[in-house]
């Protein structure tokens, strides 16, 4: 272990070493400042890009009806909540929607299950998990069908295993967890 007196003697004997260490510390601090400023600029540019996208979406919502590209449906039809008098029925509705979507896309459901009472369940959310095989080209369709429309469903987990070696027409193994909000007992 080096004592403070030996370090002090080293700096007195070789003052250029102390100067080099000081200069190296200044360079490190300067580089840290430059990188921090660079990150701030990147965050600022990302924020501006996000605001631009949001303003374009907002402009579409407030566009004049009948104008080219204007949407006539401001809101998809249906209830934003999962239907069912009990949580069990809401879970069954969620599982049915997931399996129907997968089957329509040409997938084969291997297993499906309802996730037990988790953190989200206190807020009225129900969660279901499905394991299935599907062609790669149909995965985007499945994800879109689940998240688009009513009721509002959210993908909590998506794990995809691509077959090795990938071949034309080979099927991926997918694990998907989806949640939706249940209105609760009425």
Eight-class DSSP state of 152: -
| Buried/exposed 89-115: b ≥16 CB within 10 Å, e otherwise | ebbbbbbebbbebbeebebebeebeeb
Q: Regarding predicted confidence, which is higher, 39 or 125?
A: 39
Q: What pLDDT does 76 receive?
A: 67
- Helices of type H across 62-120: 87-104
Provide the pLDDT for residue 52.
Answer: 87
Please state the rounded mean pLDDT for residues 60-87.
66
pLDDT of residue 133: 94
Q: Are strands 125-135 and 171-181 parallel, antiparallel or unpaired?
A: antiparallel
The two three-digit tokens of residue 84, written as one number: 């069912």
- Tell me what the mean pLDDT of segment 46-58 comes to: 86
The pLDDT, as a whole number, for residue 61 is 64
CB 112 within 8 A of CB 131: yes
Cα gap 158→140, rounded to integer Å: 12
Higher-scoring residue by pLDDT: 41, 137: 41
For 100-148, write each residue's pLDDT tens digit: 999 999 999 999 998 876 555 557 789 999 999 998 889 999 999 998 8
User: Residue 127 forms beta bridges with which residues?
Assistant: 179
pLDDT of the residue at 66: 52
**pLDDT for 111:** 94
CATH architecture, domain 87-181 = 2-Layer Sandwich (3.30)
| Of the ranges 55-64, 66-75, 101-110, the best mean pLDDT one | 101-110
Tokens of 172: 């991926």
Cβ–Cβ < 8 Å for 96, 112: no
Residue ranges per domain, the chain? 4-59, 87-181
- C-alpha distances (whole Å) from 56 to each of 35, 52, 65, 158 are 32, 6, 16, 29
Summarize pLDDT for 144-185 with one digit per residue, the tens. 999 887 888 999 999 999 888 777 768 899 999 999 988 776
Return d(Cα 29, Cα 26) in angstroms, integer: 5
């Amino acid at each position: 272990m080096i004592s403070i007196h030996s370090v002090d003697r080293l700096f007195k004997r070789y003052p250029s070493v102390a100067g080099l260490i000081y200069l190296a510390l200044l360079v490190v601090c300067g580089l840290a400042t430059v990188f921090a400023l660079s990150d701030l600029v990147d965050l600022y540019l990302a924020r501006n890009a996000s605001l631009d996208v949001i303003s374009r979406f907002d402009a579409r919502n407030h566009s004049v009806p009948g104008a080219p590209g204007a949407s006539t449906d401001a809101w998809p039809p249906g209830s934003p909540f999962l239907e069912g008098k009990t949580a069990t029925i809401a879970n069954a509705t969620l599982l049915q929607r997931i399996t129907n979507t997968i089957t329509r896309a040409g997938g084969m459901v291997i297993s499906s299950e309802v996730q037990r009472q988790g953190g989200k369940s206190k807020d009225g959310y129900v969660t279901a998990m499905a394991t299935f095989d599907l062609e790669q080209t149909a995965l985007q369709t499945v994800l879109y069908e689940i998240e688009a429309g009513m009721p509002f469903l959210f993908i909590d987990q998506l794990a995809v295993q691509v077959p090795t070696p990938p071949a034309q027409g080979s099927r991926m193994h997918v694990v998907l967890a989806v949640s939706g909000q249940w209105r609760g007992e009425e």
